[in-house]
Each structure stands twice: as C-alpha cells, then as structure tokens.
A and B are shown apart, each in its own frame.
Chain A
Amino acid sequence: MFLKLDVLLKIGVRNVARMSELYAQSLATTTLLEELNKY
C-alpha cells in the first residue's frame, strides 16, 4: 500500500505529539510519586 507523503507526515506528527504527551505524563507521575514517598 502506498501512502501519500502528506498523509504519512500527518501520521508522523500526530504520533510524535502523542509520544511526547505520554512521556511528559509518565515523568510527571514519577516525580509526583517520588515527592509523595518523602512524606
């Protein structure tokens, strides 16, 4: 199946945004858990 380049680009941009969002979320959760562990 040949995808058009612009479709591929849109998928790529969406996926990178999603991955960054997930990374930020997991980092925030870990930091929060670490802080909570102190108390």
Chain B
Amino acid sequence: MLTRSRPISSEFLFFKTMTLFVFWVLLSASFDWIHLALGLACSFGVTWLNSGHSPFIPKFGLWLRIFLYLPWLFYKIVQSSLHLTKLILDPALPIEPQLISVESKLNHHAAIVLFGNSITLTPGTITAEVDHNKLIVHAIDNVSREDLESKQMESKIAEIFKDEKPDL
C-alpha cells in the first residue's frame, strides 16, 4: 500500500517521467516502438512508486551541496571499482565478505537515505537494511569495511545536512 506524505502534482509526475525516459533512451539507444513504450511505462512506474513519500523538500542550498558532493562520490566509486576489479580478477579471490552493523550519527532521514545509497553505489559495499540511524552493510573485504569505518562519507553527508532540523 502506497502512503504519500505530500500530494504529487501531475506536472511533477510528467517532468520526472520525462527525465527518466530521456535517460532510458540515452542508455538503451534503441528507437523501436517496443523499447520506447517499455521505457515510457517503466519511467512512469518508477516515478509513480517513488514520489511523495517524504514530506521533506530540499532547499536550493541543500541541492547545491548535494551536487558538490557528487564529484567526490564519483571519485570513490571509481577508486572502489578499481579495487573490486583487482579482487575479481585474482584467481585466489581474496575476499572476506561480512555484514557489519553501522550506527550513524546522521540525524535526518534524507541524510540516511543519501548515506545508504552512497554506500550501495560504491562497489564492494551494499546497504542491506536500514532502521532509523542503524544500517546493516555488506562489505566484500576488510579494505571496503575500513573505508566505511573511516566515517569519511558520513562526515561529508553530515556537512551537507548541517543546517537541517534533525528528524530522527
């Protein structure tokens, strides 16, 4: 059952669907009707399921800070990808998979969402579960775990949300 904290306007639905659809077309590079129709249906479905659940609307300053955080995240993604590639191509597969419980100091639900997604986007670590400010993260080896435990990502996100009122 979908619960929406705030109403979603049809303009917003249309804009978000179209943005996702453009992204679909860019990635699929197929222009036959079945791909386009499927893309449109998926874009609308994703938009419909992922809109209006949070009462939180970020202000311009926050968007800007999130935007400035993305290059650093991208750098971490590339760095972890290279590390993971080394692990994968090693015949001995030197991994130490582990599920770790991370208690975050972040006190805003949007910050936790950003943190969880950043962890998942970084190869080698996956957020398996989130409960308030506690995250269960799967790390592929000790390097990935130490990277997470260094709290570098968390402090960057805390910096982004420093002006927001805590809601957790």
Q: How far is the CB of B168 from chain A (nearest CB, A)?
A: 21
Complex contacts, B95 vs chain A, CB 8 Å: 19, 22
Among the stretches B18-26, B28-36, B85-93, B113-121, the one at the interface with A is B85-93
Complex contacts, B140 vs chain A, CB 8 Å: 19
Complex contacts, A22 vs chain B, CB 8 Å: 95, 97
Binding site of A, secondary structure by majority: helix, strand, loop or mixed? Answer: helix
Complex contacts, A19 vs chain B, CB 8 Å: 88, 93, 95, 97, 140
**Inter-chain contact A30/B99, CB cutoff 8 Å:** yes
Q: Measured between alpha carbons, how far is A16 from B124 in the docked complex, in Å?
A: 12
The bracket for how many chain B residues form the interface is 10 to 19
**Inter-chain contact A26/B89, CB cutoff 8 Å:** no
Known: A23-B126, A30-B136. A15 touches B93 (CB 8 A): yes
**Inter-chain contact B138/A26, CB cutoff 8 Å:** yes
**Inter-chain contact A27/B88, CB cutoff 8 Å:** no
Which of the residues A8, A11, A16, A26 comes within 8 Å of B97, measured between beta carbons?
A26
Q: Measured between alpha carbons, how far is A26 from B126 in the docked complex, in Å?
A: 12
**Inter-chain contact B88/A15, CB cutoff 8 Å:** yes
Binding site of B, secondary structure by majority: helix, strand, loop or mixed? Answer: mixed
**Inter-chain contact A12/B126, CB cutoff 8 Å:** no
**Inter-chain contact B128/A27, CB cutoff 8 Å:** yes
**Inter-chain contact A11/B89, CB cutoff 8 Å:** yes
Known: A11-B91, A15-B87, A27-B138. 9 other contacts (CB 8 A): A11-B89, A12-B89, A15-B88, A19-B97, A22-B95, A23-B138, A26-B98, A27-B128, A30-B128
13 contacting pairs across A/B (C-beta < 8 A): A11-B89, A11-B91, A12-B89, A15-B88, A15-B89, A15-B90, A15-B93, A19-B93, A19-B95, A19-B97, A26-B98, A26-B138, A30-B136
